[in-house]
Amino acid sequence: MAKYSSRLDDAFQALADPTRRAVLSHLGAGPKSVSELAAPFDMALPSFMKHIHHLEHAGWIRTRKTGRVRTCTLRHESFEDVDGWLTEQRRIWEARTDRLERFVTDQEESSE
Q: For 24-45, what is the mean pLDDT?
A: 96
Model confidence at 1, pLDDT cuts 50, 70, 90, reads very low
For residue 32, what is the enclosing H or E element? strand 32-33
Helices 18-27, 5-15: crossing angle, 10 deg rounding: 100
Kindly list the structural domains of the chain, giving each domain's residue range(s) and its CATH number in brackets, ordered by start: 5-111 (1.10.10.10)
Q: Where are the alpha helices (DSSP H) in 1-112?
A: 5-15, 18-27, 34-38, 45-58, 76-111
| Residue 111 scores a pLDDT above 80 | no
Residue 3 pLDDT > 70, yes or no? no
> pTM for this one?
0.76
| Calpha distance 61→81 (Å, rounded) | 14
